[in-house]
Amino acid sequence: MASLMEAAKRPHLRAVEGPGAEPNSGSEGDYSEIAASFDAYAPSEDRWLGRTGGYHDLITSIAGSLVPEGASVLEIGCGRGDLLASLRPSRGVGVDVSEAEISAGRARHPELELHHASGEQLQLGETFDYVVLTDLIPYVDDLLKLFVAIRRHSHARTRVVVSFHSQLWRPLLTAMAKLGLRPNRPVRNWIAPRDLVDLFDLAGFEVVSQRKEILMPLNLGPLSRILNGWIARLPGVRSLALTAWTVARPLPTQREEMKASVIVPCRNESGTVRDLVERIPEVGAGTEIVFVEGGSQDDTRERIEAEIERRSDRDIKLVLQQGKGKWNAVQEGFDASAGELLVILDGDMTVDPEEIARVYEAIVSGHGEFVNGNRLVYGMEPGAMRFLNMVGNKAFAALLSRVLGQYVKDTLCGTKAILRSDWELIRRRRTELGAEDPYGDFELLLGSALLGLKITNLPVRYRARRYGDIEIERFSGAAMLAKLVAAGFRRIWVRPVSR
The predicted model gives 174-194 an average pLDDT of: 85
Is the pLDDT confidence value at 1 over 60?
Answer: no
The predicted model gives 242-253 an average pLDDT of: 94
Single out the residue of 189, 74, 199 nearest to residue 136, CA to CA.
189
Q: Give yes or no: residues 270 and 222 share one domain.
A: no
Q: Give yes or no: residues 312 and 434 share one domain.
A: yes
Q: Give yes or no: residues 196 and 275 share one domain.
A: no
CATH number at residue 6: 3.40.50.150
CB distance 391 to 447 below 8 Å: no
- Residue 195 has, within 13 A of its CA and on its CB side, a CA count of 14
pLDDT in tens, 351-384: 999 999 999 999 999 999 999 999 888 877 776 6
Tell me the backbone φ, ψ of residue 124, rounded to 5 degrees: -80, -15
Indicate the pairing of strand 154-165 with strand 205-213. Answer: unpaired
Please indicate, yes or no, if residue 138 is contained in any of the structural domains. yes
Sequence-separated (6 or more) residues with CB below 8 Å from residue 456? 362, 367, 368, 369, 370, 371, 372
Residue 252 DSSP SS3: coil
The percentage of residues in the chain with a pLDDT greater than 90, rounded to a whole number, is 55
Q: What is the pLDDT of residue 73?
A: 98
Q: Give yes or no: residues 182 and 269 share one domain.
A: no
CATH number at residue 329: 3.90.550.10
CA distance readout (Å), 159 to 57, 213, 263 = 22, 19, 29
| Greater pLDDT, 52 or 216 | 216
Is the pLDDT confidence value at 436 over 70?
Answer: no
CA distance readout (Å), 71 to 74, 153, 165, 427 = 10, 14, 26, 15
Please indicate, yes or no, if residue 391 is contained in any of the structural domains. yes
Q: What is the pLDDT of residue 88?
A: 97
Q: Give yes or no: residues 303 and 246 share one domain.
A: no
Residue 211: which H helix or E strand, with range? strand 205-213
Please indicate, yes or no, if residue 194 is contained in any of the structural domains. yes
Q: Give yes or no: residues 184 and 110 share one domain.
A: yes
pLDDT in tens, 73-93: 999 999 999 999 999 999 999
Q: What is the pLDDT of residue 211?
A: 87
CA distance readout (Å), 19 to 93, 144, 294, 476, 487 = 9, 25, 57, 58, 43
Indicate the pairing of strand 72-76 with strand 128-134. Answer: parallel
CB distance 294 to 265 below 8 Å: yes
pLDDT in tens, 163-182: 999 988 888 888 888 887 78
- pLDDT category, 187, cuts 50, 70, 90? confident
Domain boundary residue, one of 208, 231, 250 = 250
Please indicate, yes or no, if residue 255 is contained in any of the structural domains. no
- pLDDT category, 428, cuts 50, 70, 90? confident
pLDDT in tens, 281-338: 999 999 999 999 988 999 999 999 999 999 999 999 999 999 998 999 999 999 999 9
Q: What is the pLDDT of residue 484?
A: 61
Domain boundary residue, one of 200, 215, 250 = 250
Q: What is the pLDDT of residue 239?
A: 86
Q: What is the pLDDT of residue 394?
A: 75
The predicted model gives 29-40 an average pLDDT of: 90
Please indicate, yes or no, if residue 376 is contained in any of the structural domains. yes
pTM comes to: 0.82
Q: Give yes or no: residues 225 and 265 share one domain.
A: no
| Greater pLDDT, 221 or 71 | 71
Q: Which of 106-115, 136-145, 305-314, 465-474 is predicted with the least confidence, judged by mean pLDDT?
A: 465-474
Most confident of 17-31, 223-237, 304-318, 385-399: 304-318
Q: What is the pLDDT of residue 163?
A: 95
Single out the residue of 368, 444, 378 nearest to residue 411, CA to CA.
444
Is the pLDDT confidence value at 210 over 50?
Answer: yes
CB distance 220 to 245 below 8 Å: no
- pLDDT category, 480, cuts 50, 70, 90? low
Interior angle at CA 243, CA 117 and CA 370, nearest 5: 90
- pLDDT category, 5, cuts 50, 70, 90? very low
CB distance 62 to 163 below 8 Å: yes
How many angstroms separate the CA atoms of 496 and 493, rounded?
Answer: 7
Q: Give yes or no: residues 214 and 188 share one domain.
A: yes
Please indicate, yes or no, if residue 142 is contained in any of the structural domains. yes
Residues spanned by the domain of 115: 2-250
Strand order in 154-165's β-sheet?
113-116, 91-96, 72-76, 128-134, 154-165, 243-250, 205-213
- pLDDT category, 497, cuts 50, 70, 90? very low
How many angstroms separate the CA atoms of 94 and 38, rounded?
Answer: 15
Q: Give yes or no: residues 102 and 77 share one domain.
A: yes
Domain boundary residue, one of 250, 268, 298 = 250
Q: Residue by residue, what is the 3-state secondary structure of 255-322?
A: CCCCCEEEEEEECCCHHHHHHHHHHCCCCCCCEEEEEEECCCCCCHHHHHHHHHHHCCCCEEEEEECC
Please indicate, yes or no, if residue 499 is contained in any of the structural domains. no
Tell me the backbone φ, ψ of residue 14, rounded to 5 degrees: -70, 155
The predicted model gives 476-491 an average pLDDT of: 59
DSSP lists the bridge partners of residue 263 as 290, 344
DSSP lists the bridge partners of residue 341 as 260, 419
Most confident of 208-212, 234-238, 473-477: 208-212
Q: What is the pLDDT of residue 227?
A: 85
- pLDDT category, 396, cuts 50, 70, 90? confident
Count of domains forming the chain: 2
Residue 446: which H helix or E strand, with range? helix 441-450
Q: Give yes or no: residues 180 and 34 share one domain.
A: yes
pLDDT in tens, 138-171: 999 999 999 999 999 999 999 999 999 998 888 8
CB distance 307 to 274 below 8 Å: yes
Please indicate, yes or no, if residue 271 is contained in any of the structural domains. yes
- pLDDT category, 228, cuts 50, 70, 90? confident
Q: Give yes or no: residues 209 and 295 share one domain.
A: no
Q: Give yes or no: residues 93 and 226 share one domain.
A: yes
**Average model confidence (pLDDT) for the chain?**
85
Indicate the pairing of strand 243-250 with strand 154-165. Answer: antiparallel
DSSP 378: S
CB distance 112 to 93 below 8 Å: yes
Single out the residue of 421, 479, 475 nearest to residue 448, CA to CA.
421
- pLDDT category, 392, cuts 50, 70, 90? low
- pLDDT category, 107, cuts 50, 70, 90? very high
